[in-house]
Amino acid sequence: MQRSLPFLLLSCLGVVSAVLQNITVDDTSPDVLYGGKTFQCNADNACQGVDASLEQLYNESTTFTEGSITFSFSGVAYYATIDVLFGEASVIIDGGPGTSYSSLDAAGNFTIRHNISEEGLPSGTHSLLMLPSPQSNTVLGFDSLTYTVSLPDPPKTKSHAGAIAGGVVGGLAVLFGLLFAALYSHRRKLILRRNQRKSAVLQSMNIGRRNFGQNVDVKDPVPAI
């Protein structure tokens, strides 16, 4: 998967903690399993009874079937439409109790197209089953399905950058420390040597003063540090 620059920038800033991405599958996808005879409605085949024009269909096609429709996906949500041309069908996720959809509403009017969706599914593999009622000569139409994948936490850009920055800062700190220690020890040596020189000079002056009785005002030739 390609990651956009804004995405990377955001993840660098630690703004993005989880990435959700929608993936849409067409009714023609081999991942969609039909448990019975199918008839595809597209530009070449008439779409009698489809509750949407061809242009409104995803990839301009819908598959009709008298059998079940099964689709498995790894994600946290799905969104789809189900066309119930005749009869009734149940939409079941992960073998749950299921929800019923009918081609007729309570008032007896045709309601072919139904939006089906579920959000907040636990992250993992899910199985969606659209099951026609065997009693009612049901015909289902399936156009497309969108499911949401939750990608693992964004690239460790932040922590890598942090580790690198930490390493660089740490390395520089050590370097400066060593440099400082070297300079300090050099300076100490210089001071030591200078003090030695100073006491040698003072000593010789004192000797001179003693020898010649001169009243020499001995001042430090080098200021003390």
Ligand X SMILES: *[C@@H]1O[C@H](CO)[C@@H](O)[C@H](O)[C@H]1NC(C)=O
By the criterion CB under 6 A, which residues form the site for ligand X? 20, 22, 26, 28-29, 59, 79, 107, 109, 115, 146, 148
How does DSSP assign 143-205, residue by residue? EEEEEEEEE-S--THHHHHHHHHHHHHHHHHHHHHHHHHHHHHHHHHHHHHHHHHHHHHHHHH
Beta carbon nearer to ligand X, 21 or 125: 21
* Closest to ligand X by CB, 4 or 109: 109
Is the Cβ of residue 7 or residue 79 nearer to ligand X in the bound state?
79
Positive/negative CA dihedral, 192, 196, 202, 205 = negative
- Residue 18 per-residue DSSP state: S
Whichever of 51 and 66 has its CB closer to ligand X, that residue is 51
In the complex, the smallest distance separating the C-beta of residue 60 from ligand X, rounded to whole angstroms, is 8
Amino acid at 20: L
* Least Å from the CB of residue 148 to ligand X: 5
- DSSP code per residue over 110-129: B--EEEEEE--PPSEEEEEE
Q: Confirm if 17 and 153 have CB atoms less than 8 A apart.
A: yes
Contacts of 198 (CB under 8 A, 6+ apart): 220, 221, 222
By C-beta, is 28 or 136 nearer to ligand X? 28
What CA–CA distance (Å, rounded) separates 71 from 156?
32
The residue number whose beta carbon is nearest to ligand X equals 26
Q: How far is the CB of 161 from ligand X (least distance, A)?
A: 26
Smallest gap, in angstroms, from Cβ of residue 172 to ligand X? 42
Is 24 or 199 the residue whose CB approaches ligand X more closely?
Answer: 24
CA dist list (Å): 100 to 35, 104, 133: 19, 12, 9
We find the least distance from the C-beta atom of residue 111 to ligand X, in angstroms, to be 7
Nearest to 221 by CA among 198, 196, 193, 194: 198
- Rounded to the nearest whole angstrom, what is the least distance from the CB of residue 26 to ligand X in the complex? 3
